[in-house]
Amino acid sequence: MTKDFEYVAKLANKFRNEGKKVQIYFEDKKVKAQFKYADKLQIPYTVVIGEDEVNSNTYTIKNMETGEQETVSI
């Protein structure tokens, strides 16, 4: 298991324990395609996790309706 996947799984479990519905996108596609997929499913918020987020112990949450993004510390 890679460090990135462990980080994503840990964060997904945190959200699930808070009662939030979570879906992890496993396909290796560009971020734009991932946002398009979330938009198609009418997912209101997406969480972006990249190398920077893993290294800084944060995540970026994006409001799919407004496009606003915020980086949050875990």
Q: Is residue 30 in a domain? A: no
Count of domains for the chain: 1
Burial class (CB in 10 A: 0-12, 13-18, 19+), 49: middle
Q: Is the pLDDT of residue 1 over 60?
A: no
pLDDT digits (tens, 9 = 90+) for 18-54: 999 999 998 889 999 999 999 999 999 999 998 999 9
Domain that holds residue 15: 3-25+38-73
Band of residue 4 on the pLDDT scale cut at 50, 70, 90: confident
Is the residue at 21 inside a domain?
yes
Q: What is the reported pTM?
A: 0.85
Quick check: 18 and 30 in contact, CB under 8 A?
A: no
Residue 11 is part of a domain; what is its CATH number? 3.40.50.800
Tell me whether residue 32 is in a domain: no
